[in-house]
Structure 1
Amino acid sequence: MKSLLIVAHGSRKAESNEEVRQLAKRLQTESNTYTLVSSAFLELAEPSIPDGIQYCIDQGATEVLVLPYFLSAGRHVSQDVPSLVHEKRLEHPEVSIKMAAYLGAAEGLVGLMLETAKQVQCNRCSAKEVCAYPSCIESS
């Protein structure tokens, strides 16, 4: 079974972590490749990356692809996440655990950004002009 694990930084703001979980659910719905799509966090939220990988394995995954949901190759992308993935590889040599490139390296990102920039109306606050996101989001 193939699984995809979306790995984000994690936030003190619960709504931000929930956005990542909802993204994983949307990917699960639209994916023809992965039987399971889940999410995990580097810090500040649960599950942790090792726990997220373990969850995929416990659900029967024989292949786990970790996709870092980061825009640049900072320390987390270049060191922290690979280190945690490597530890799980050593713990589960029978499972293929691989890392995809971080989101910021995706070939289609430039086109996506240009297309997003064309969207004047905010989907969150229905502003007719460019909104001051994230100030349009209700604070908790």
Structure 2
Amino acid sequence: MEAILYVSHGSRFAAACYEAARFVEQCKAAIDIPIQELCFVELAEPDIVTGVDRCVAQGATRIIVVPLLLLSAGHAKHDIPAALELAKQRHPSLEIVCGTPFGVHESMIDIIIDRIGEHPTPLDNESMILLIGRGSSDPDTKRDITAIARLLKEKTNVPHVDICFLAAIHPTLDEGLEQANASIYRHVFVVPYLLFTGVLMKTIERKLEALPVSHQQWHLCSYLGYHPRLVTLIQEQVLSLSLAKKEADSKGR
């Protein structure tokens, strides 16, 4: 029997875990697979191995692991595979296939545009966007955020899109805010490229509140959140992995 195990980052903020759980309920309603469970990489329960155990206890013989992560960095490349290897040792006959984070995808650009569009002030030729990533020591993080910023600029035709990071990479949040503050743009749309609320979102809010008065108008947009477009991306990924399994089975006969 097939199962889906959704792997969220995890947070000490109960609201963040609740957001993930509510999103998984939306996915369950949209995907016709009998067993679907949620687990977390860190900071919340159940952990990944426990999530696998719960799927197996319900009769799962094959698990599609769906990382609820924005980009492919340390969690996707190391932490999730390591936990799945431990789970595999507990359940040697279990088949586990792992999907990928959302990554650089046109739907992610559309989500950013949707979040900016929720603000009453429209983008114009006096506007810039400051895209704030979580940050990681993995070099792919900066590459991917840079690619997203480029696609965002092309799709919105806004004069300038800049990037900064909350940890591990330059430019830092302070550097990004300083550069935007020194820019010629009247409107600065700040977009937290984050999937859920929590400490990092509070940090951005606090930094913006501390900015000196200037000629600019700062517009803090909502973090990405578990947008309905993500349900479609997950549907596509699960379908692709399921079809790959069926094709492999047919060739093996």
Q: TM-score, normalised by structure 1?
A: 0.77
The share of aligned pairs that are identical, in percent, is 26
Aligned mates of 2:65, 2:104 — CA distance in 1: 14
Q: Is 1:16 the counterpart of 2:27 in the alignment?
A: no
Q: CA separation of 1:114/1:132 partners in 2, compared to 1, >3 Å: closer, same or farther?
A: closer
Aligned mates of 2:59, 2:87 — CA distance in 1: 15
Corresponding residue for residue 46 of structure 2: 47
1:1-140 paired onto structure 2 within 5 Å: 1-32=1-32, 34-104=33-103, 108-120=107-119, 132-133=221-222
Q: What are structure 2's unaligned runs of at least 5 residues?
A: 121-218, 224-253
| RMSD of aligned residue pairs (Cα, Å) | 2.2
Q: Tell me, what secondary structure is at the counterpart of 1:103? A: coil
Higher relative contact order at CA 8 Å, sep ≥6: structure 1 or structure 2?
A: 1
Aligned mates of 1:96, 1:103 — CA distance in 2: 23
Q: TM-score, normalised by structure 2?
A: 0.45
Shift of 1:12: 0.7
Q: For the Cα contact (< 8 Å) 1:25–1:38, is it kept in 2?
A: no
Aligned mates of 1:118, 1:49 — CA distance in 2: 36
Q: For the Cα contact (< 8 Å) 1:25–1:37, is it kept in 2?
A: no
Residues 84-115 of structure 1 deviation map (CA, whole Å, 9 limit, x = unaligned): 11221232121111110112255643444445
How many residues align structurally?
Answer: 125
Q: Larger Cα Rg: Structure 1 or Structure 2? A: 2
Aligned mates of 1:10, 1:39 — CA distance in 2: 11
Q: Which AA in structure 2 matches 1:41? A: F
Aligned mates of 1:68, 1:15 — CA distance in 2: 19
Aligned mates of 1:29, 1:19 — CA distance in 2: 16
Q: CA separation of 1:30/1:96 partners in 2, compared to 1, >3 Å: closer, same or farther?
A: same
Q: For the Cα contact (< 8 Å) 1:7–1:49, is it kept in 2?
A: yes
Q: For the Cα contact (< 8 Å) 2:72–2:100, is it kept in 1?
A: no
Q: For the Cα contact (< 8 Å) 1:5–1:53, is it kept in 2?
A: yes
Q: Tell me, what secondary structure is at the counterpart of 1:73? A: coil
